Amino acid sequence: MLYRTHNLVRTPNIRSILSRQTHRVLLRTMCAAREASTAPNYDAFFNRRSLARQPSAIRELQPFLSIPGMISLGGGMPNPTSFPFTSLEAELVDGTKITLKGSDLSETLQYSATPGLPRLVDLWTNIIEKEHTPSTAHAWGVGVTTGSQDGLAKIFDMFLDENTSLLVEAPTYSGALASLVPLGCNLVKIPTDSDGLIPEELDATLSNWDCSVDGVKPKVLYTIPTGSNPTGATLSLERRNTLLKLATKHDLLIIEDDPYYYLQFSEKRISSMFSMCSDGRVLRCDSISKLISSGLRIGFVSAPTPILHRIMLHQQSSTLHTCGVSQGLVYALLNKWGPDGFEEHVQKVTAMYAKRRDDFMASAKKHITGKAEFHAPAAGMFVWFKLLGVEDSTDIIKEKAVEKLVLMVPGKAFTPGGGPSPYVRATFSTASKEDMEEAMRRFGELLDEIKP
Ligand code: PMP
């Protein structure tokens, strides 16, 4: 990849074809290289499959296309005159419009750069810099993925195989498990409570690890620190600090899957671990799904450059790049809003979910108190019920609740390695206030009926 080669940044022609972000990454790489590095040896974390990924000869030509005077007989780009679009327009809820046309449109309709449309990568890099002010001691960059799910799948694929272990919260996101189970890796469960992952449990697991019995010591932790799916828990600042210290102590990388980061109900958002880490150990996954649209399928990975490089080599051989039209629309929207407009939107969405959370909690308290334990989440869209006197909720939720016309998800779906779970996940994201009240009434009635 271009950003690995320091000399390239000084070549005027090359500078002109690099996006601002790529150029900044190059400069950060150069600055970081000059500092005494405490960053891990990333090569020790990649599996054989990832190390075997080679750059695509054709994809590597992509940045050279915009050198003035370049005649391309290279990449197999379809002739754009065959594309039947002259403009794409989206009307926003406030009645204003965003329109893709001219070169902005043609760029989105054609094959484009693997890490993302340069203007979108630049824009999200600015958001990360402003929101998280990451340490400048280590080079990092941003890549656009097809939702954060795609970023996660690529990250897991890069680190894990039948011979490795991953540290996961128990319970964890079922979509992550769907990606992880086929990789055949060992999932090492770290207990959580209503404040998220318990650092002392993590430390004990790693300190007591016996390679001769347990196999290779885990090198990677996967966590959903804010408004977790499924528990709704948000990891406290203190625990975040402790986790980072443990990462250094045990030479760990942390995958910070944070799609609910912007849905925090407190006045001030809690710091991300990406922002708190000073030794290049955190890979951050962001998503626009819960803020702008889940169907556009746009996510972002922010990671130390050697790691981003490996993820993007995977992308070169899978999706090539995230849908250009989606990227073009998201860029046009965020650019039109500017930082203030984006924040205004975040505040509106957060206020909407906070109100829903309050309505849902009021109904849950009224109908479920004494029948299950539950907490009001400080972020996100989930409430996690622990059914009292129940060993496994699966049949209750899949059969009896469905008969009562209430859909929820049994805790088993979020349990790494399966096994019984007395928990149930419910979301307050879409049902009306009246429907939430009725659902909790029916759920309460059901819990009364199954009482031993
Ligand atoms: N991680 C978590 C914790 C999620 O809850 C979700 C969405 N359900 C994702 C990742 C995937 O989000 P995206 O739509 O960005 O792929």
Instruction: State how beta strands 97-101 and 87-91 pair.
Output: antiparallel
Percent of the chain with pLDDT strictly greater than 70: 92
Q: Is 224 in the pocket of ligand 1 (CB under 6 A)?
A: yes
Q: How would residue 361 be classed by pLDDT, with cut points 50, 70 and 90?
A: very high
| 315 alpha carbon – ligand 1 mean position (Å) | 18
| 149 alpha carbon – ligand 1 mean position (Å) | 6
Please identify which residue in the block is written with the tokens 């090569």.
43
Residue to mutate (ligand 1; options 179, 257, 384, 430; most atoms within 8 A of CB): 257
Please identify which residue in the block is written with the tokens 């754009």.
80
Atom of ligand 1 nearest to the CA of 290: 14
Q: Is 259 in the pocket of ligand 1 (CB under 6 A)?
A: yes
Q: Which residues pair with 87 in a beta bridge?
A: 101
Q: Is 226 in the pocket of ligand 1 (CB under 6 A)?
A: no
| Contact present, 144 and 120 (Cβ < 8 Å) | yes
Quick check: 133 pLDDT over 70?
yes
| 223 alpha carbon – ligand 1 mean position (Å) | 12
Give me the pLDDT at residue 5, please: 30
Residue of higher predicted confidence among 412 and 38: 412
User: Predicted ipTM?
Assistant: 0.99
Give me the pLDDT at residue 185, please: 96
Q: How would residue 367 be classed by pLDDT, with cut points 50, 70 and 90?
A: very high
10 Å CB burial of residue 86 (0-12, 13-18, 19+) is exposed
pLDDT per position as a tens digit, 85-115: 999 999 999 999 999 999 999 999 999 999 9
Rounded Cα distance between 300 and 444, Å, is 40
Rounded Cα distance between 357 and 428, Å, is 6
The DSSP secondary structure of 119-143, one letter per residue, reads HHHHHHHHHHHHHH---SSS-EEEE
Give me the pLDDT at residue 347, please: 98
| 321 alpha carbon – ligand 1 mean position (Å) | 19
pTM value? 0.91
Fold exhibited by the domain 5-340: Aspartate Aminotransferase; domain 2 (3.40.640)
pLDDT per position as a tens digit, 267-281: 999 999 999 999 999
Quick check: 440 pLDDT over 60?
yes
Quick check: 12 pLDDT over 80?
no
Rounded Cα distance between 64 and 231, Å, is 47
Quick check: 7 pLDDT over 80?
no
Quick check: 122 pLDDT over 80?
yes
Atom of ligand 1 nearest to the CA of 288: 15
Tell the residue nearest (CA) to atom 9 of ligand 1.
Answer: 149
| 259 alpha carbon – ligand 1 mean position (Å) | 6
pLDDT per position as a tens digit, 24-47: 544 454 444 444 457 899 999 999
Atom of ligand 1 nearest to the CA of 287: 15
3-class DSSP state of 168: strand
Give me the pLDDT at residue 156, please: 98
3-class DSSP state of 220: strand
**Number of DSSP helices (H) and strands (E) in the chain, helices first:** 16, 14
Query: Do 346-449 and 5-340 have the same topology in CATH?
Result: no
pLDDT per position as a tens digit, 316-327: 999 999 999 999
Query: Using N-to-C axis directions, what is the helix angle for 102-109 and 324-368, rounded to 10°?
Result: 80
Quick check: 2 pLDDT over 50?
no
Give me the pLDDT at residue 102, please: 96
List the domain boundaries for the chain: 5-340, 346-449
> How many other C-beta atoms lie within 10 A of the C-beta of residue 256?
26
Percent of the chain with pLDDT strictly greater than 90: 85
pLDDT per position as a tens digit, 191-232: 999 999 999 999 999 999 999 888 899 999 999 999 999 999
Fold exhibited by the domain 346-449: Aspartate Aminotransferase, domain 1 (3.90.1150)
What b-and-e string marks burial along 141-176, b requiring 16 or more CB atoms within 10 Å of the CB? bbbbbbbbbbbbbbbbbbbbeeebbbbbbbbbbbbb
| 6 alpha carbon – ligand 1 mean position (Å) | 35
Give me the pLDDT at residue 60, please: 82
Q: Is 149 in the pocket of ligand 1 (CB under 6 A)?
A: yes
| 249 alpha carbon – ligand 1 mean position (Å) | 29
| 227 alpha carbon – ligand 1 mean position (Å) | 12
Locate 7 and state its tokens. Answer: 């000399």
| 14 alpha carbon – ligand 1 mean position (Å) | 36
Tell the residue nearest (CA) to atom 5 of ligand 1.
Answer: 229
